[in-house]
Structure 1
Amino acid sequence: MSTAALSSGGPGDAPDRGRPADALQRATGALSTAAMARMEQEMPWFRELSAEERSWVGQIVQAGIRGFVDWFRTGETSVSAGSPLASAVFGAAPRALTGVISLQQTVALIRLSIGVVELHVDEYLSPDDLPDVHGAVLLYGREVAFATAEVYARAAEVRGAWDARLEALVVDSVLRSEPDEAVLSRASALGWAGQGRVTVVLGAVPARRTETDIFDGVRRDARAAGMDALCATQGDRLVVVLGGVDDPHKAAEKVADRFGPGPVVVGPVTDDLSTAHLSARAALSAHRAATGWPEAPRPVHSDDLLPERVLAGDGHARRHLVDEVYVPLIEAKGALIDTLSTYFECGSALEATARALFVHTNTVRYRLRQIADLTGFTASDPRHALTLRMALALGRQSGRGLPRESP
């Protein structure tokens, strides 16, 4: 009795697939060779693969055809990504598969292989077996395509989880001042271009948002601005490392809306990722001290919070004010330090300062402009004046610039 006749039997009958399955088993090598030849002709991306990769893809094709024969023999009706058959087709390395060819290319590969089987199967089977085999080929091609998509989805999920752990490790290394070649290599594996200067931005984690949503939003905003971005959460704090930065404040503005309520602090720009811990250190200190200035803009630069950082006990901020503000004023030509001190003692009044120094008011204005150019702080601005006053006090306490006493 023919296979077709068996197929048309009663509900309890099942077609005898042993004979066509044996014939297909013997033809597996020839069908695989025909499929590889078709790929060589019709798939330009296949020709661009290395010899090792093409051999590996060839093994996948052979496994797929053998898988069809086994599937046909057992009479199964579906293929899932977790089934033994799917494992036999894709092997134990779906990550390697997804790294060599894309999902679209894999589906095209399966479609071509199934098409080759359907085209050449007439050469190896009797006419009575052909209807059952042709129907099985179509069903198998559809089911394996679905299983392929599931394999890729699972591989992407695993890769995403691995990338998230790797990214958190890189950001943590930056925060812990552990820049080394391993950190740079890990960042490169995450797509960090390594070009341009770097800054660190800190703020609160937004509520009712998953890490994936937050990080994806930050990366989109950073990419749109031509920057790299690495993200991590530490407790209730969101940390973003931005690369390719020219202006730290403008860079932080691009991602500030991705943070939760409260201050968003940006650290100074450093030359590259290996020195980004300097930016992170300043940003961390500023974020801890930011509650001392509730009216701070969002984002706010860590240097704008130097007074609060000093009051919070930040030794780096203290040294910064002495080395970068007080000492340059002491070493500058002219009477800049005396002018600044007198200006504050006279209640920031130009005329009173000029009378106390026996100079013209315009001379005071000129010296104050010099001070602003030298330090970056304008004495007439209330916030800047606070920073300058603190720099004067700390500088005097340090003893820097004072004449040495005779022995």
Structure 2
Amino acid sequence: MPAEFVTGFPEALAEISLSCRALTRGERESRRVLGEQAADAGYGLRELTALHLAAAHRAWSRLPGVAGARDAAELRRAGAAVLAAVESGVAALAEGHDRAQRHAVRRLEESRKAFVDDLLYGRSDPGRIAEQAEGFGLRLADRHVVAVAAAGRDSPGYDGRHPLLRRVERELAGRFGDHDALIAAKDGRLVCVAPTTQQAILDAFVKLIAGARSDPDAQGARVAVSRPHSGAVGIVRSYEEALSALDLADRLGLPGAVLNSADLMVFPVLMRDRAAMADLVGTVLGPLSGARGGAQPLVETITAYAAAGYVNAEAARRLDLSVRALSYRLERIAALTGFDPDDSLQRYTLETAALGARLLNWPALPL
């Protein structure tokens, strides 16, 4: 380690051995600055401390206040002042070193956050984003899958210091060592970008999130997984697919801790022509608004009947109704809409309209 990082320390100790004073504020600040410089140069605090202690040890017998002490009392006073100065100087070094480390971590976090923003939103020059990606272990030429974990409704979401993010990073590092996946917090969610060649990392991320739903840190989280796509543009597309899956799951009230965007592809197709879907909902289900209690209970009945495979007993159980009450509701649906839930073709129209109603949040919102 260069001797420049101990500059001025032996001289200060020599003067202190005579005056028995403490280190001045300026002297302590000079040690802090040297501590920062050493950290920026890549030297550890242990090396820096050892350098100063060694310098103090070498200078000890030549310190004027020590070598020239006339009696034991003077030697004790000089020795105590020098040791206190060494302690104060080393503490100042540690403060400066820690300060530089915190700044470095902050700069790295800011750089990482900016990179994640550029990567997931696709708003940076492709060449520059590819260069940055290599520094974070991503090779954008590969095919990647993106998993996005969202916290429960009552949770404030996840940030870069959330315990769940730290736990996931620790678990993946312990299990896979150096890997090419990017784990980050983004807009209150946790994101994992992993190449398809390292599917095990993505699976582990999903399992950790899904398995921790009851944990206070997870706050009822669930995770959506995109389809694989290639390149930087593919990562943006995968990210949007995962976000869309989470949004659809919330709007449709879908159960489950893990969502695969491939399983939900039918819903964007249904909503591609929003006007046509609104027309279908209004035409088919609009008459249900005239029922006692409104349309909502009858729309829920259509949904539950379809989810139960059109088995009356199972649908009644899901709705917490008697089979007789369910049959009455089905009769009312057929009478009001003109579509019979027990007719194979007409039930498909009712089911599609009920899906559209959930996507459009009807009847809570007007079409």
TM range (shorter): 0.5 to 0.7
How far did 1:264 drift?
Answer: 1.3
How far did 1:183 drift?
Answer: 3.1
1:200-215 to 2 correspondence within 5 Å?
Answer: 200-205=146-151, 207=155, 211-212=160-161, 213-215=163-165
CA separation of 1:230 and 1:132: change in aligned 2, threshold 3 A:
same
For normalisation by structure 2, the TM-score amounts to: 0.57
1:105 is aligned to 47
1:183 is aligned to 129
- Supply the AA of the counterpart residue of 1:106: L
Give ranges in structure 2 of 5+ residues lacking alignment. Answer: 275-308, 310-347, 353-367
1:361-372 to 2 correspondence within 5 Å?
Answer: none
Task: Show CA shifts across 1:169-200 (max 9, x none).
Answer: 111112212463433444555x5365976432
Task: Show CA shifts across 1:34-56 (max 9, x none).
Answer: xxxxxxxxxxxx4xxxxxxxxxx
Highest RCO, 1 vs 2 (Cα 8 Å, sep ≥ 6): 2
- Supply the AA of the counterpart residue of 1:246: Q
CA separation of 1:284 and 1:197: change in aligned 2, threshold 3 A:
same
Partner SS, residue 100 of structure 1: coil
CA separation of 1:174 and 1:210: change in aligned 2, threshold 3 A:
closer
Contact preservation (8 Å) 2:137, 2:182: yes
1:237-386 to 2 correspondence within 5 Å?
Answer: 237-242=189-194, 245-246=198-199, 250-256=203-209, 257=212, 259-270=218-229, 275-313=234-272
Task: Show CA shifts across 1:68-120 (max 9, x none).
Answer: 356667754367xxx42233234377155354211222222222122112244
Contact preservation (8 Å) 1:67, 1:89: no
CA separation of 1:130 and 1:273: change in aligned 2, threshold 3 A:
farther
Contact preservation (8 Å) 1:245, 1:251: no
1:232 is aligned to 185
For normalisation by structure 1, the TM-score amounts to: 0.52
Task: Show CA shifts across 1:316-371 (max 9, x none).
Answer: xxxxxxxxxxxxxxxxxxxxxxxxxxxxxxx9xxxxxxxxxxxxxxxxxxxxxxxx
Pick aligned residue for 2:105 from 157, 160, 181: 160
Partner SS, residue 297 of structure 1: coil
How far did 1:271 drift?
Answer: 5.2
Task: Show CA shifts across 1:113-152 (max 9, x none).
Answer: 2211224437994233654433222222222222222223
Q: CA RMSD in A?
A: 3.9
Contact preservation (8 Å) 1:202, 1:265: yes
1:127 is aligned to 69
How far did 1:59 drift?
Answer: 1.3
How many residues of Structure 1 are paired with residues of Structure 2 in the alignment? 258
Task: Please tell me whether residue 216 in structure 1 is matched to residue 166 in structure 2.
Answer: yes
Contact preservation (8 Å) 2:18, 2:65: no
CA distance in 2, matches of 1:140, 1:283: 59
Task: Show CA shifts across 1:217-240 (max 9, x none).
Answer: 231132134243331231x43333
CA separation of 1:135 and 1:231: change in aligned 2, threshold 3 A:
same
Bigger Rg, which one: 1
How far did 1:61 drift?
Answer: 1.2
Give ranges in structure 1 of 5+ residues lacking alignment. Answer: 1-45, 47-56, 316-346, 348-385, 391-407
